[in-house]
């Protein structure tokens, strides 16, 4: 299975070119990247897949944007919101990842949404950005949300992916660092290995 950083932001959204990020990923031990709004390509032996992140658009627009993402062959991620929005998103065919869960309250993702994610093969994104860059109460909130998610994951077995959400090569981390950072939220090495290889499975599902 390919080891994948499931979300990075090359230029023009971020500060580094996709080629430079692919080189960095190769040196850091990754086989592939999901790069937002970047055409699929390969550099330095690293496969770059197109990613789209659907933000806080009205509910009726989410399905349309998911369809457009599918037509482009993209990895489709949708930003999490309240519980009602998350149930709606998880019911849309073609969504690969629910992201931004660390910014929601604990009622936004519960046993019902967990079962929906498991049944529909939608992965929950564990972004390391708030762990790396967060401070004080914001970092603690993210850690608390991730602990809640892991408890639900172990019960319902929905997929997990891990991402850096890097906007520069300076934000990227090695596979070993991913493991160390993920241990802070309770993921052990087998959990991390599985999450880093999940993208290939949900893409083929």
CATH placement of domain 4-204: 3.20.20.140
pTM over 0.85: yes
Instruction: Enumerate the domain spans of the chain.
Output: 4-204
96-118 pLDDT, tens digit each: 999 999 999 999 999 999 999 99
110-154 pLDDT, tens digit each: 999 999 999 999 999 999 999 998 889 989 999 999 999 999 999
DSSP for 16-56? Answer: S-HHHHHHHHHHHT-SEEEEET---EEETTEEEEEEEEE-S
19-61 pLDDT, tens digit each: 999 999 999 999 999 999 999 999 999 999 999 999 988 878 9
Instruction: Give the whole-angstrom CA distance, residue 57 versus residue 54.
Output: 7
């Amino acid at each position: 299975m390919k080891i994948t950083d499931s979300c990075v932001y090359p230029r023009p959204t971020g500060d580094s070119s996709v080629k430079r990020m692919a080189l960095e990923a190769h040196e850091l031990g990754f086989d592939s990247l999901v790069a937002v709004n970047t055409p699929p390509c390969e550099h330095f032996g690293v496969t770059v897949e197109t990613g789209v992140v659907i933000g806080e658009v009205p509910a009726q627009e989410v399905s349309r944007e998911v369809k457009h993402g599918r037509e482009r062959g993209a990895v489709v991620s949708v930003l999490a919101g309240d519980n009602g929005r998350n149930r709606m998103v998880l019911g849309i065919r073609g969504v690969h990842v629910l992201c931004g869960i660390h910014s929601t309250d604990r009622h936004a993702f519960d046993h019902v949404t967990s079962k929906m994610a498991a049944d529909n093969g939608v992965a929950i994104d564990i972004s390391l950005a708030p762990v790396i860059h967060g401070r004080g109460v914001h970092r603690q909130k993210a850690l608390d949300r991730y602990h809640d998610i892991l408890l639900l994951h172990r019960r319902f077995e929905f997929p997990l992916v891990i991402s850096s959400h890097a906007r520069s090569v300076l934000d990227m981390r090695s596979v070993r660092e991913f493991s160390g950072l993920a241990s802070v939220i309770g993921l052990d090495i087998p959990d991390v290995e599985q999450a880093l290889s999940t993208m290939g499975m949900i893409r083929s599902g």
